[in-house]
Amino acid sequence: MDVRYMDLLPFAVAFGVTVLLILVLRPLAFRIGLVDEPGGRKDHAHDTPLVGGIALFCGFFFAVLLVDGALAPYKPLFAGGALLLIVGILDDFRELPAWIRFAAQIAAALMMTQWGGVVVEDLGFLLGRDELALGPWAVPFTVFGVVGVINAVNMCDGLDGLAGTLSLLALVFMALAAFAAGDGAHTSLLMILAAAVLGFLAFNYRIPGRRRALVFLGDAGSMFLGFCLAWFLVALTQDPNASIAPVTALWLVAIPLLDTVSLMLRRVMKGRSPFAPDREHFHHILLVAGYSVSRAVLMIAVLSTLLALFGLAGLWSSVDQWVMFYAFAGLFLLYFWGVRHAWRVMRVLPKPGGRQVAGAGQAHGALAQREVE
């Protein structure tokens, strides 16, 4: 059999299995009630099947089985992912108490650290010339970080195509970094997962002739994707021949992290629970300002790409890690200010088609009202 065909087979399987399962599971989801119903804070108007995560997990798993020796070191990844998938499916059927979801996320993170041995042992040279080792705090820090990334991906799953696109970009840029560092194993696994995500996005994007998503990730899919991103970010930064510096990881998933942390801080400043649901995410602000779902996703994707490229440029140009860290801290302050004063920022942003957005006055008024609340 042709070697090139064998090399491409896992990627084709990841994409193909994901697509096939979505086609099979979508009508079943309607019959058993595994759908996201419109209403409340939601932006869709039709019942939408929550089977994207199931298909994505299976596509990734069966594709990895085709890669010789690839599954053994990643059994904890799939075990933790399966746990999150099951809990997510149950949550998608009927909303579970938050503590059950957090318990599952912590359990998956512990599988990663205690079984998989994937732990953040050090944070690199964030404060200068000395490496910042975590010592006895390594496992607690890793668990905290994994749970944080899982929830960051989950919280950005608010527009058709957004969570999938941001995850896809992070996977591709991680694969690029791994490839540049000569890490073929991680490059292959990351691109296999990216192929599965592409299969899902084929049904999740709003495209000409189709004005709504056909399937959603659901909590099952967003938690699984977040867990995978956290696993590979830690693995790439902590391996003996690390592909990226710890600070680079921040830039590769900058938008989900910036949005989640800034939003939780704003909620606390208003005297609310940091986990209270609302419509004050960055993507919601873009919608209020008059951007369509597709344009909002495109804008956020472009911004995420630029930030990831900036992080990789700093890595490959050997910019001091502490410089990149303080640059990220400065970016966070700028982002935090920007979303708190969104109505001012929207005045200078380009409008769709170069025209003033219909209802822009009302949009700016709504954003200004949010600022003073």
In the annotated binding site for Mg(2+), the residues are 154, 219
Measuring CA to CA, how many Å separate 43 from each of 214, 222, 247, 293, 300?
Answer: 14, 17, 34, 9, 17
Burial of 283 (0-12, 13-18, 19+ CB in 10 A): buried
Give the length of the chain.
373
| SS3 assignment for 283-299 | HHHHHHCCCCHHHHHHH
Q: 343 with 207: CB under 8 angstroms?
A: no
Q: 159 with 293: CB under 8 angstroms?
A: yes
Give the position of tokens 């409340």: 40
Q: In the numeric block, which tokens belong to residue 220?
A: 């099952």
Distance CA 343, CA 339 (A): 8
Nearest to 232 by CA among 69, 23, 81: 81
Distance CA 165, CA 160 (A): 9
Q: List residues forming the annotated binding site.
A: 154, 219
Nearest to 63 by CA among 11, 24, 19: 11
Q: In this structure, what DSSP letter does residue 114 have?
A: I
The set of residues, in sequence order, having a beta carbon less than 8 Å from that of 155 and lying 6+ positions away, is 256, 259, 260, 263, 281
Q: In this structure, what DSSP letter does residue 320 have?
A: -
Give the position of tokens 């999740």: 204
Distance CA 34, CA 107 (A): 25
Q: In the numeric block, which tokens belong to residue 124?
A: 């690199």
Distance CA 272, CA 248 (A): 32
Distance CA 196, CA 81 (A): 15
Q: In the numeric block, which tokens belong to residue 277?
A: 């649901």
